[in-house]
Amino acid sequence: MTNGNLIKAKDRDMVIQSLQAGVVPRKGQHFIQVGRVEEIKAVIRDLDRMGEGGSAIRFVIGEYGSGKTFFLSLVRSIALEKKLVTAHADLTPDRRLHATGGQARSLYAELMQNLATRTKPEGGALPSIVERFVTSAVSEGRDRNIDPEAVIRERLEHLAEMVGGYDFAEVIAAYWKGHDNGDESLKMNAIRWLRGEFTTKTDARQALGVRTIVDDANFYDQLKLFTQLIRLSGYAGLLISLDELVNLYKLANTQARKSNYEQILRILNDCLQGHSVGLGFVMGGTPDFLMDTRRGLYSYAALQSRLAENTFAVNGLVDYNNPILRLGNLSPEDLFVLLGKIRHVFAFGDRAQYLLPDEGIQGFMVHCSQRIGEAYFRTPRNTIKAFIDLLSVLEQNQQVSWKDLVVQVNIGAESNPDALVPQAEDEDDLATFRL
């Protein structure tokens, strides 16, 4: 299935445990990726272009259960390997691209919280990045026999032309001063400022002597500034991954929705025109978020024309350069391959350790389809959980035959949380086993 290499216990456990908990694994997604080779190639091209100082934007459109979140997470992992810094966040009613009540700042704060590098894939890499920048300035200062602060200001000089660039440079310099004078609270304040945790300008002025803070109006400009810092620190660029864009579509207020789409347009324009050097976006959303001509992205005329898919891509010809990447739903065949891969990972990549044969997987799928119908492959999360549960039981009870177990799998259908209609509260997402 995958190439004959064995899989490390650490990687295997991480994948299996995440899937069992119903979440996308943070590492090792490539062990269980099924198909989508062209989509992945397209994204890899994007990431390479970002590394060369370009920019990129992709809307990953798929229905509930089609694997958007998985795909976004895979993209992030690839980006980290390509020496990009990544930041991700789910949009929520309290975290938006445009707002006046602090929701955009709160999105920025979430992104900064989740800032990840290859060595810190779980997030929280902000201080490391800043220090890496400052450290290199210090060593340059030593080599040239000048004050490190002068080097910092020199390197950040061209940022002054960008919106908010002057204060940004001040904050970085403050971090160095704090370090130089052993003033931990000054360092902390600089980090807090960069994280978007200051809520009033007065506080920021007292703490750091700057007149601005990261707020709703300038958070995107701050991201651009931060991208420059990231590049100056020696990384290839910054990839921002935003999921659950459907939450913008769900905004009841027309004006609020429109302002958020305007922000998307601004980002899109910057990316397509190459104004944001080294900064890239991937955004995950549902088909209705894209196509609804009253409330979706298509309701905003300027976005409509930019997102229109290529007219020459007909009859199976595909233009993967379009910002829209559509992910189809999983077919039973996809699921079959996927379960096969999970079996492979579960067995540490050793075919001799497979706990059940191909017929076993089919038997399991037949059973699931009897229990919950089509939902078993349309919304595969529960199916995967149940399958791993089945494997665990088989592993611990070698005397039991898979044939007896498969029919006992208890699996429930899951509900689509993206639907506009509020869901009933009593959904039980558990897949359970009894021996």
Partner 1 sequence: MFQYWSGTNPEKLGKGEAEGLSQILERLGYGIEPDARLGGAVPKLTGWVGIFRLEVNDLSYLSAEYLTATLIAHLAIVVASGDELPNSVEQEYLRTYLESLIPLTRSERSRFQAHLQLLLQEKPNLRGLKARIEAVSSETRGAIAQFLVNVAVADGQASPKEIDRLTKVYTLLELDSQTLYSNVHNISANSVNSRPAIEPITVRAASPSQGHRIPAPAQNSLVLDMSIVESKLSESQEVSSLLADIFGEEPPVSLGASPTEIEAGIAGLDAAHSQLLQALAQKAEWRRAELAAIALALNLMLDGALEVINEAAFDQCDNAVIEGDDPFEVNAEVLQELLA
Residues between 247 and 286 with contacts to partner 1, criterion CB under 8 A: 286
Please give the Cα distance from 280 to 402 (Å, whole number): 46
315: left (phi over 0), alpha (psi -120 to 50) or beta: left
Which 343-402 residues touch partner 1, going by CB under 8 A? 362, 365-366, 369-370, 373-374
| Closer by beta carbon to partner 1, 193 or else 298 | 298
| Near partner 1 in 1-20, by CB under 8 A | 1-3
What's the closest the beta carbon of residue 370 comes to partner 1, in angstroms? 4
Torsion, Cα of 171, 176, 181, 184 (10° steps): 70
* Residue among 17, 139, 185, 200 that touches partner 1 (CB under 8 A): 139
Give me the half-sphere count of Cα atoms (radius 13 Å) on the Cβ side of residue 162.
Answer: 23
Which is nearest to 406 in space by CA: 334, 349, 341, 358?
358
Minimum distance from CB of 43 to partner 1 (Å)? 11
Give the count of residues interacting with partner 1 (CB under 8 A).
82
Minimum distance from CB of 50 to partner 1 (Å)? 15
Smaller CB separation from partner 1, 49 or 326 = 326
What residues have CB less than 8 Å from 130, skipping those under 6 apart?
A: 172, 175, 190, 191, 194, 229, 233
| Nearer residue to partner 1 within complex by CB, 313 or 430 | 313
396's tokens: 């611990």
Among 200, 331, 401, 410, binds partner 1 (CB under 8 A): 331
| Residue 170 within binding range of partner 1, rule CB under 8 A | no
Q: Residue 266 Cβ, how far from partner 1 at the closest point, in Å?
A: 20
Nearer to partner 1, 107 or 246 (CB): 246
Q: Is 188 in the site for partner 1 (CB under 8 A)?
A: no
The residue (of 105 and 344) whose beta carbon lies closer to partner 1 is 344
Q: What are phi and psi of 86, to 5 degrees?
A: -120, 155
Please state the closest distance from residue 301 (CB atom) to partner 1, in A.
8
Q: Which of residues 90-129 bind partner 1 (CB under 8 A)?
A: 117-120, 124-125, 127-129
Say how far apart CA 91 and CA 114 lie, in whole Å: 13
176 beta partners: none
Task: Using alpha carbons, select from 92, 225, 238 the residue that is nearest to residue 169.
Answer: 225
Determine if 185 is a binding residue for partner 1 (CB under 8 A). Answer: no
Q: Does 329 bind partner 1 (CB under 8 A)?
A: yes
Helices 332-346 & 380-396 angle (0-180, nearest 10): 30
- At 14, the amino acid letter reads M
Q: Which stretch binds partner 1 (CB under 8 A): 87-95, 105-113, 164-172, 291-299?
A: 291-299
Q: Which of 50, 57, 61, 223 binds partner 1 (CB under 8 A)?
A: 61
- For the bound state, the minimum distance from the C-beta of residue 149 to partner 1, rounded and expressed in Å, comes to 14
Q: Interacting stretch for partner 1, rule CB under 8 A, among 74-82, 199-207, 213-221, 263-271?
A: 74-82
Name which of residues 30 to 59 contact partner 1 (CB under 8 A): 30, 33-41, 44
Q: Which of positions 298-327 make contact with partner 1 (CB under 8 A)?
A: 298, 304, 308-318, 325-327
Burial state string for 214-246 with b = 16 or more CB within 10 A and e = fewer than 16: bbbebbbebbbbbbbbbbbbebbbbbbbbbbbb
Provide the mask over 77-96, with x wherever binding to partner 1 is found by CB under 8 A and - wherever it is not: xx--xx--------------
70 binds partner 1 (CB under 8 A): no
